[in-house]
Chain A
Amino acid sequence: MRAIPTLKISISGVRGVVGQSLTPSLLTRFAQAFGTHTGSGTIVIGRDPRTSGEMVKHAVVAGILSTGNRVIDIGVCPVPTVQLQVRHRRAQGGIAITASHNPAEWNALKFIGPSGLFLNAGQARELLDIYHQGEYTKVGGADLRTVEEIEGATDLHIKSILDVLGPLPPTKKKLRVVLDSCNGAGSIVGPKLIEALGAEVIRLNTTPDGSFPRPAEPLPENLGDLCHLVKEHHADIGFAQDMDADRLAIVSEQGEAIGEDYTLVLAALYVLGHEKGAVVANLSTTSAVADVAKKFDCPVFLTKIGEVNVTDTMQQQNAVIGGEGNGGVIYPRINFARDSLVGIALVLHLLAESGKSVTELLNTVPRYYIVKEKIACPSDRIAGVLRTVRQEFGNFPLDTRDGVKVMLPDAWLLVRGSNTEPIVRVVAEAKSEAHARKLVNDFIARLR
């Protein structure tokens, strides 16, 4: 088997390992390509607190400036804050410097268009073409602009949330929240938002220093400390963010990680209770989202995996809420982006308004269990794996828009190649954890 590559250039952006493949010249060239693609104007940049963030930032700034664009540097902040700033400033685009859930040695560039949305597949292909052609806009002399460092971008983010949702309605007792920011980009703004909403916050991992106190993905197995603190402090809820604060996971008042799929479920419960409209999620999202939509008599649309696919469909369907099963909540009235801060605000509003606990709220919706596994798989074998799925499950309805999704009675199984790593993801959902686990394990066993 070939060596696993440490660099991934795709329509999701460029992603690589610092000290190996992700060199400053590569980053500069990508920034030049992006500056060439956007045309001249303003480009907003922000980054998560990874140790390599400053190196990557300077490489990007040099590349953008050389194309004649102005740079607004909003510093260390959540990815959705960059997206909000792009829209707010009517900028030509933005670059978020973050490898989101990847480990500490990775970093990446994610490219944002003028609407604050990530580049869609077509736009990203144009960017890649420019990058590969290697002919970038070059300006000199008085056409060169400078970089401005701006503070307060996260305050604007909080204000945008409060402007739409307002502070929490009065409750008998102030809500008590434990927040685990993974020492990531949400470390400063997360606690500020919770206090601004009118809840009490207990902080866990809120020093944005690029250290990874736990794996960045807010999966149940990574949230032991958070579960413990929620119980110890008798908190009403625990929130876990990832490194770039786009994804959000929830721990119930009983100290149980409810699974990041249920973040969107709870957010949808609140939003649909106030406003009817379409709900958009991806193929890998729990069926509970569809059940909630049905309860409010609203349509559901499932898309291919990838934030931009969800946001594109949300725009087409004029959706009121959307997101992904990985804990990404998109609420277009505030921000057309996966936004953990928006997720926190929606779920706290739900708790305050309903007066119910997280467990009580979950009992009002069907409970499914999702099991996710990944197996290393070189790219040339992915097609073979998918063929196996189609053969094995030929008798069931299949959705092949993104990998293969098998619709089983009372369950589903999804197998797809990752966009960001040389792996195959195997996801199953069923009414019991044992059933979902069996679906995943059986399939992996058949592959070997």
Chain B
Amino acid sequence: MKPLKIGITGVRGIVGETFTPELAVEFAESFGTYLDRGRILVCRDTRPSGPMIRSAVLAGLLAAGCEVIDLGVCPTPSMQLAVKSLKADGGIAITAGHNPWQWNALKFVRSDGLYLNPTQGEELLDIFHQGEFAKASWNEIKQVIQTDDAIEQHINMLLQSFAVETIRAKRLTVAVDCCNGACSFLSPKWLAKLGCEVLAVNDNPSAPFPHAPEPKPETMAQLRAVVKAGRAVIGFAHDADGERLGIVSDLGEPLSEELTLAIAADIRLRRKVGVIVTNVSTSSAVDVIAARYGGSVVRTPVGQAYISEGLSEHNGVLGGEGSGGITVPEVHLTHDSAAAIGLILEHLAETGERISDLVTQLPRLTILKHNVVVEPHRLYSVMQEFRAAVEEDGLEVDSTDGIKVTMPAGWVHVRASNTESMIRIIVEASEKSEAQELLDWARDRIRI
């Protein structure tokens, strides 16, 4: 089975195997055609395939007649902000986010700086499959414009969104692991602007990823050591393109990526009561926290586009996912780890509270995640058989995204991955033994 996923969230695969330059060229041509030429921004993270895919994308966009502005290596949220400030018609982020370094992907952004929604993603795919693209003639074709101030603009936007003077006054010591990704250009600068003493590791964008670009406790050993040795008040871990955020507490404890949203929600609801938007697969800790402050939770399917739309529809005060992606609506309606850093440091500075104390007050639940690899052509039928089995047990099915079942001990969520050919099982319960029982229950009902 070859890892390539072409879907409504874009195209994603392993370079050197399935993700070829032609595929990138043709997706860029499709996007240029979809946006009827227009102005399009391009950014990329630091993967070794970045320059190759970049050239392919620039060629496709130019051929379709687009005005192309290349932001170089730059976090995806910085590009998303620049789409708005430069009045662009869209953007392409060349990044496989948290996927391993051999992967790459194209993610498509529309003129409001948000990802294409599923309908728009379908339309783009239709153009790709039809294979008839806009073609600029010699006197219409444009040249690429290079610019590198998107990160500067992003920091300026962040500076307007948080109580900067309060944070500066505290001169906090903060550790950060940029994973040698795009945040190497953003995070240390942003923290310095906040008056922090910055202990940065893996902030060399020309070096390879030091570990998987997925901010999870397993990848935070080095950050943990830096927090402890440098007596930092907190440690932040980035993915490759600046969407997901992981946290190490002042005690040097690496926190589960699920806790990033719980922490952000707790901080946010203390100041502003309202709706938290998250996906069906995220810990119900956020429900407990919302209830504590009189807020509420809206659940969407998994994927940033849904969180953005949910926030906009419900006028939410915070969005986020269990993967560590946090959306602070004052900055923009998309995951932005630098904005999440601002929110958390603002709280630490204003209250003097320690992050480890905040964490002890959070509901502690056990989440277990398990992936079942399934042949692509079997994904749908395996899910159907699982649904039938659940209904046979007389249980109620929430089908917002995949199948979610709530039981007295906790919940089970089973869905087909958007990015890989596998079925993801996530269960949550108060106790680990209960969670394990829920996981076994689900695995028994999945027949590949």
Residues of A participating in the B interface, judged by any CB pair closer than 8 Å: 17-20, 23-25, 27-29, 32, 50-52, 54-59, 61-63, 65-66, 104-106, 138-144, 146-147
CA distance A58 to B58 in the complex (A): 6
Residues of the B chain whose Cβ atoms lie less than 8 Å from the Cβ of A50? 138
Question: Could you write out 29 A-B pairs with CB less than 8 Å apart?
Answer: A18-B63, A18-B137, A19-B136, A23-B133, A24-B25, A24-B29, A24-B59, A27-B59, A28-B22, A28-B59, A32-B21, A52-B138, A52-B141, A55-B58, A55-B59, A55-B141, A59-B56, A61-B51, A61-B52, A62-B24, A62-B25, A62-B54, A62-B55, A62-B59, A65-B51, A105-B137, A140-B14, A141-B49, A147-B55
A147-B63 contact given A19-B138, A52-B138, A141-B16, CB 8 Å threshold: no
List B residues 99-116 near A (Cβ within 8 Å): 101-102
Q: Which residue of B lies closest to A59 (CB)?
A: B59
A124 CB, min distance to chain B CBs, angstroms: 22
* Chain B positions 109 through 147: 1 when the CB is less than 8 Å from some CB of chain A, otherwise 0: 000000000000000000000000101111111011000
Q: Which residue of B lies closest to A31 (CB)?
A: B21
B301 within 8 Å of A by Cβ?
A: no
Given A55-B58, A61-B55, 15 new contacts (CB under 8 A): A23-B135, A24-B62, A25-B25, A28-B25, A32-B21, A58-B58, A58-B59, A59-B59, A61-B52, A62-B52, A62-B54, A140-B15, A140-B17, A140-B102, A144-B15
CA distance A51 to B65 in the complex (A): 12
Residues of the B chain whose Cβ atoms lie less than 8 Å from the Cβ of A140? 14-17, 49, 102
Contact partner, B52, options A19, A65, A106, Cβ 8 Å: A65
Contact partner, A138, options B17, B63, B139, B143, Cβ 8 Å: B17
CA distance A127 to B136 in the complex (A): 28
B376 within 8 Å of A by Cβ?
A: no
B26 within 8 Å of A by Cβ?
A: yes
Closest 4 CB pairs of A and B: A140-B16, A19-B137, A62-B56, A59-B59
B247 within 8 Å of A by Cβ?
A: no
B64 CB, min distance to chain A CBs, angstroms: 9
CA distance A94 to B339 in the complex (A): 46
A66-B20 contact given A142-B48, A144-B15, A146-B51, CB 8 Å threshold: yes
Residues of the A chain whose Cβ atoms lie less than 8 Å from the Cβ of B20? 66, 138
CA distance A20 to B49 in the complex (A): 29
Indicate if the CB atoms of B139 and A51 lie closer than 8 Å: yes
CA distance A142 to B25 in the complex (A): 22
Q: Which residue of A lies closest to B52 (CB)?
A: A65
Residues of B participating in the A interface, judged by any CB pair closer than 8 Å: 14-17, 20-22, 24-26, 29, 48-49, 51-56, 58-60, 62-63, 101-102, 133, 135-141, 143-144, 208
Most chain A CB within a 10 A radius of its CB, from B20, B58, B59: B59
A19-B135 contact given A65-B52, A142-B48, CB 8 Å threshold: yes
B376 CB, min distance to chain A CBs, angstroms: 21
Q: Which residue of B lies closest to A21 (CB)?
A: B135
Residues of the B chain whose Cβ atoms lie less than 8 Å from the Cβ of A25? 22, 25-26, 29
Main SS class of interface, A? helix
A283 CB, min distance to chain B CBs, angstroms: 33
CA distance A50 to B137 in the complex (A): 12
Indicate if the CB atoms of A54 and B136 lie closer than 8 Å: no
B100 CB, min distance to chain A CBs, angstroms: 9
Residues of the B chain whose Cβ atoms lie less than 8 Å from the Cβ of A56? 59
CA distance A46 to B254 in the complex (A): 51
A51-B14 contact given A28-B22, A141-B101, CB 8 Å threshold: no
Indicate if the CB atoms of A28 and B21 lie closer than 8 Å: yes
A104-B138 contact given A28-B59, A54-B143, A55-B63, CB 8 Å threshold: yes
CA distance A373 to B135 in the complex (A): 33
Q: Which residue of B lies closest to A107 (CB)?
A: B138
Contact partner, A58, options B15, B56, B101, B137, Cβ 8 Å: B56
Residues of the A chain whose Cβ atoms lie less than 8 Å from the Cβ of B144? 54, 58
Indicate if the CB atoms of B21 and A66 lie closer than 8 Å: yes
Most chain A CB within a 10 A radius of its CB, from B17, B138, B141: B138
A142-B59 contact given A19-B140, A66-B52, CB 8 Å threshold: no
Residues of the A chain whose Cβ atoms lie less than 8 Å from the Cβ of B138? 17-19, 50-52, 104-106
B318 CB, min distance to chain A CBs, angstroms: 37
CA distance A18 to B56 in the complex (A): 16
Residues of the A chain whose Cβ atoms lie less than 8 Å from the Cβ of B63? 18, 23-24, 55, 59
B197 CB, min distance to chain A CBs, angstroms: 34
Q: Which residue of B lies closest to A140 (CB)?
A: B16
A166 CB, min distance to chain B CBs, angstroms: 39
Residues of the A chain whose Cβ atoms lie less than 8 Å from the Cβ of B58? 54-55, 58
A333 CB, min distance to chain B CBs, angstroms: 36
Residues of the A chain whose Cβ atoms lie less than 8 Å from the Cβ of B139? 51, 104
B317 CB, min distance to chain A CBs, angstroms: 42
Residues of the B chain whose Cβ atoms lie less than 8 Å from the Cβ of A105? 137-138
Indicate if the CB atoms of B62 and A54 lie closer than 8 Å: yes
Residues of the A chain whose Cβ atoms lie less than 8 Å from the Cβ of B137? 18-20, 105
Q: Which residue of B lies closest to A29 (CB)?
A: B22
CA distance A426 to B234 in the complex (A): 81
Residues of the B chain whose Cβ atoms lie less than 8 Å from the Cβ of A28? 21-22, 25, 56, 59
